[in-house]
Structure 1
Amino acid sequence: MGAKDEMNENGEIIDDYRIDYMVKHISAMHDAVLDGVELMGYTPWGCIDLVAASTGEMSKRYGMIYVDLDNEGKGTLNRSKKKSFNWYKEVIETNGQSVL
């Protein structure tokens, strides 16, 4: 899920929209397993913000780790965990039970 994530005045990226998106997908996977689908796992598109392959832009962000870089290639390249990072960490630790 790509979004225009922005850091707030406290240096946080509150990406509840990404968490909601993943909750819906993980819940649908759970329903599929209950229906008999064999599921190996779930892998998000990327864990870290990446440059869009088609446009080379950074304005739309895909990861759970923010990279300080803009569309012109300027920035510190510092990484910051988004809210979704710790949420997804808990999902992994509980094998998805924290979502259900």
Structure 2
Amino acid sequence: MFLIAGVQPKTRRVDDNPQRCPACGLSQAFTTRVDHYLSLFFIPLIRVKQGEPFLLCEGCQRPVNGSRATAQEVPLSGASTVCVACKKVFDRSFKYCPHCGQRA
């Protein structure tokens, strides 16, 4: 008889309220946590270690520094541009319009 056991990471979304990603400008960053589970035959059974929450953007797949970054904490470059789709003004450092999601 043999057993296949080990510890494996599992990513969990902690909060379902999207926040704005400072990297791409889209509101697709969610509070996420990586927990480690003891697994038996690749089935997670017992949480061994609970990870620290962080923001993970689902748009650009980048982790955001800080556990609760908000729109006010995002450094703006000061230069603004106008979106070609919705005609709203936003910071030039964003790759996507934070209002409609159009690529800048």
| TM-score bin (small chain) | under 0.3
Q: Which has the higher strand share?
A: 2
Q: Which has the higher helix share?
A: 1
Give the alignment's TM-score, normalised by structure 1.
0.27
Higher relative contact order (CA 8 A, sep 6+): 1
